[in-house]
Structure 1
């Protein structure tokens, strides 16, 4: 009886262990890198590459800025869903590991202060350390990791597995490319609430940059008209007034491209993100604006 039970259970256990370990690599053949793979590669490259300019932001900058199009050595350390607590600890991570740079692009988004994300803590928990996780007393890192590994066991993920040519990929410079085509019907809801938690971390980013002699360029990328409909002009004015309070035109600057009309629906992959060609264009525009500003500041 025991032998029959063992013969039944052992193959299942072997499959489960193998799936937990190898499923992400198998799935990346079809879907591109997993979130965990993206983040680990990003952290690795943030230390191995040299740069003068570091980009910190959410998915809008992660996909929308190509460091290769900047006038100086640049690395994109952004990621989907990152907001200011993650960005602070990422900035601290590279500084604590001895990286030296003198400029930071800090993404600002109308909704970026409104939430506290924990969806990537099964990866960030190990990389950003105990101080980062102290802000998530309600979260259980072990359970999040177990949930991640158990999710890899699902054999349904292997259905229809085939190589996809037009799949997402991550550049060595940190930028993430995800193909897609926007639609006229794309809509989105945005919450412009500013949580004190995120405001405090935003201030800590500015203070940490000032303390290390790093110039900060706060950047609001271009938005689609459909996304601008998610908030009122009065709400945007209030938000921009808040951001402008940090500007000193010496070490902290603000570039607001949200109503730039040079980008059309065809430049986006969805309601929010630039396609690869538009990201290259915007990177060149921003690079030129930063270059001209710094040149003027040193005259």
Structure 2
């Protein structure tokens, strides 16, 4: 019987639990939220991280998007790294969604007319199938401007001769994009998917550590999970942490998320990202591709609490760059055409909202009249 501790009590903990072998015993859960310590979650006690060393266990499974912070925390309190499974890091290394997106683009290379890059706002908020041109998405949750640019640069370098119809790139930005560097953020573990696909690690990757952690994750996964024929954990991804439907579009969540996203003040990152945008626009100019910079809609609860100072910083950079480069700029941040029912949460559109927004883009984007 393998004894495991699951670190995290959100939706991911239930996903992990759904795929464990019958001979795996969850001895307890662990969480950094003090309000949960000593309480019962899924019939097991939730303990403080400092108490882990008092528990008899074989492995700890990190079931949280804040993987790197938790991993480092465990190492600091004396947990042997060979006992730690970084669940999301394993998933990212097993199936590279970045490679998948590039493969989709490659398969469509002779017909593609446009590429969309950006973070989750564009991933959720723009439906490429509704656009009146043939677009491929290179958008993913937590993706930053560095990888927006490098993905398109990679695609042009590899497929330029075959992508003869490529005329547009939609660059989806948020007001905090210039303050954001994925490789230095809580989401830095996702860099491995980009490194695997295009060989770009930015400010993060220690290759020896990456290879060692990957090997360790693979070993523990085989020990504790049911696997499919490809070696992928047989987990249920559609499980939620509660049977009750949670309202994610309200003032409380809007304030919390807006202030979290605005809690950034990184001069060097802003400087670097400004230069990256300039390189990105120069790349498109050199290849006769029209850039369309888009800020996606957010709910009124999110926009209400978003800091004016960060919006002003964003506009200052956009206006400065516009003196050097030509691009269409479309800002829908405070757009009044969207209702609460159009949003999945306070800052992301749902499927209905995405179709609505994409139809607006069809009208607002200045398309090449020869190809409309």
Q: Shorter-chain-normalised TM-score: which range?
A: 0.7 to 0.9
Aligned to 2:177: 112
The alignment's C-alpha RMSD in Å is: 3.4
Higher strand share: 2
Q: Whole-Å Cα distance in 2 between the matches of residues 297 and 180 of structure 1? A: 47
Matched, 1:53 2:114: yes
Aligned to 1:103: 168
Q: Whole-Å Cα distance in 1 between the matches of residues 158 and 356 of structure 2? A: 32
Judged with a 3 Å threshold, the aligned counterparts in structure 2 of structure 1 residues 143 and 162 are, in CA distance, closer, same or farther, namely closer
Task: Provide, for residues 177-213 of structure 1, a one-character-per-residue CA deviation record: whole Å limited to 9, x for no partner.
Answer: xx98623131311235462122211111011111111
Aligned to 1:128: 198
Shift of 1:218: 0.2
Q: Whole-Å Cα distance in 2 between the matches of residues 279 and 109 of structure 1? A: 16
Matched, 1:190 2:261: yes
Task: Provide, for residues 216-274 of structure 1, a one-character-per-residue CA deviation record: whole Å limited to 9, x for no partner.
Answer: 00000111222224433344234223213333799411000001011122222222211
TM-score, with length taken from structure 1: 0.73
Q: Whole-Å Cα distance in 1 between the matches of residues 367 and 299 of structure 2? A: 29
| 2:123 aligns with one of 54, 62, 69 | 62
Aligned to 2:332: 257
Tell whether the 8 Å contact from 2:192 to 2:205 is kept in structure 1 after alignment: no
Aligned to 1:12: none
Aligned to 1:272: 347
Structure 2 runs not aligned, ≥5 long: 1-15, 20-90, 184-188, 227-233
Tell whether the 8 Å contact from 2:176 to 2:314 is kept in structure 1 after alignment: no
Tell which has more relative contact order, 1 or 2 (C-alpha 8 A, sep 6+).
1
Shift of 1:294: 3.0
Tell whether the 8 Å contact from 1:102 to 1:214 is kept in structure 2 after alignment: yes
Shift of 1:41: 1.3
Matched, 1:40 2:65: no
Structure 1 residues 65-76: aligned runs within 5 Å: 65-76=126-137
TM-score, with length taken from structure 2: 0.60
Aligned to 2:216: 150
Judged with a 3 Å threshold, the aligned counterparts in structure 2 of structure 1 residues 294 and 182 are, in CA distance, closer, same or farther, namely same
Q: Whole-Å Cα distance in 2 between the matches of residues 67 and 140 of structure 1? A: 35
Shift of 1:165: 6.4
Aligned to 2:207: 141
Matched, 1:237 2:303: no
| 2:297 aligns with one of 192, 216, 222 | 222
Q: Whole-Å Cα distance in 2 between the matches of residues 146 and 81 of structure 1? A: 24
Q: Whole-Å Cα distance in 2 between the matches of residues 294 and 43 of structure 1? A: 24
Q: Whole-Å Cα distance in 1 between the matches of residues 273 and 168 of structure 2? A: 22
Tell whether the 8 Å contact from 1:121 to 1:144 is kept in structure 2 after alignment: no
Aligned length: 253
Shift of 1:43: 1.6
| 1:80 aligns with one of 141, 145, 156 | 141
Structure 1 runs not aligned, ≥5 long: 1-23, 28-33, 168-178
